[in-house]
Amino acid sequence: MNNSQEDNKSREQSIEKDIKRINNKILIIAVIAIAVIVFTAVYYIKINNLSKQQVPITQFIEGYHAANRLSIVIYYSNYTQLAKEINCETLLIESITGSKNQLVHLFPQDLYLYVINSTSCSYSLNGTYGAINLVNTTAESCMQQYTKHPYIFINFSNTKSNVSIYASSVYIEANSSYLASCPIAEEI
């Protein structure tokens, strides 16, 4: 072989080595990317499942004490439902602020109220303390606000009464009889 053929062959071998190195780097990057995606997916699924597991009421109470804030959300479709839900909300406020049992869990300024329907929402900027300063906005905007902290969600149901307790939320879906007595207010 002459020198130019040897140079060409050497260049080809060098190019082949470079291609192999590049392919190896791409493979390593792909494996790392897949590992990150799998880890993120598994983490998200576990966290999502933990937030869906029901817990004892004491765990929810510890959560809102630690957050030093609690929201009470009333969802209504009509004013008749709203009137029934307000009774339970009032009993919850009395229990949480200590005006009923003298055991103060939160001060009024740390307790926020949201009244929401399918399209709009009103909520208090300064909790339940003093003159309530209301903000009117969309239902979606309220959801973004109240889900940042522990909350109690009250929803009227003609057919059932069910209370689901999670680490950062309580869902009350209840009929008129339950909402009139609101027994969970005694536990909170």
**Alpha carbon distance 8, 180 (integer Å):** 91
Comparing 23-27, 144-148, 175-179, the range with the smallest average pLDDT is 23-27
> Can you give the pLDDT at residue 128?
65
Question: Does the global pTM surpass 0.75?
Answer: no
CATH architecture, domain defined by 57-187: 2-Layer Sandwich (3.30)
For residues 132 and 12, what is the distance between their CA atoms, to the nearest angstrom? 79
User: Which whole number is the average pLDDT over 93-99?
Assistant: 78
Instruction: For residue range 14-30, list pLDDT tens digits in order.
Output: 788 878 888 888 878 87
Out of 75-79, 91-95, 102-106, 115-119, pick the least confident.
102-106
Question: Rounded distance, CA 162 to CA 155, Å?
Answer: 10
Mapping DSSP to helix (H, G, I), strand (E, B) and coil, where does residue 129 land? coil
Q: How far, in Å, CA of 170 to CA of 162, rounded? A: 10
What's the chain's average pLDDT? 80
- Three-class secondary structure of residue 23 per DSSP: helix
CA-CA distance, 116 to 140, in Å (whole number)?
Answer: 9
The percent of residues above 90 in pLDDT, for the chain, comes to: 12
Residue-range domain boundaries for the chain? 1-52, 57-187
Q: Which of 88, 87, 68, 82 is nearest to 152 (CA)?
A: 88
Contact 53, 45 (CB under 8 A): no
pLDDT attached to residue 95: 84
Other CB atoms within 10 Å distance of the CB of residue 167: 15
Q: How far apart are CA 166 and CA 55, in angstroms?
A: 5
Task: Provide the CB-side half-sphere exposure for 91 (13 A, CA).
Answer: 16
CA distances from 78 to 55, 59, 126, 141, 180 (A): 31, 33, 26, 20, 17
Q: What is the dihedral angle through the alpha carbons of 26, 29, 34, 36, rounded to the nearest 10 degrees?
A: -170
Inform me whether the pLDDT recorded for 72 exceeds 80: yes
Confidence of residue 172 (pLDDT cuts 50, 70, 90): very high
Helix, strand, coil abundance in the chain, percent, nearest 5: 55, 20, 25
- Tell me which H or E stretch contains 74: strand 70-75
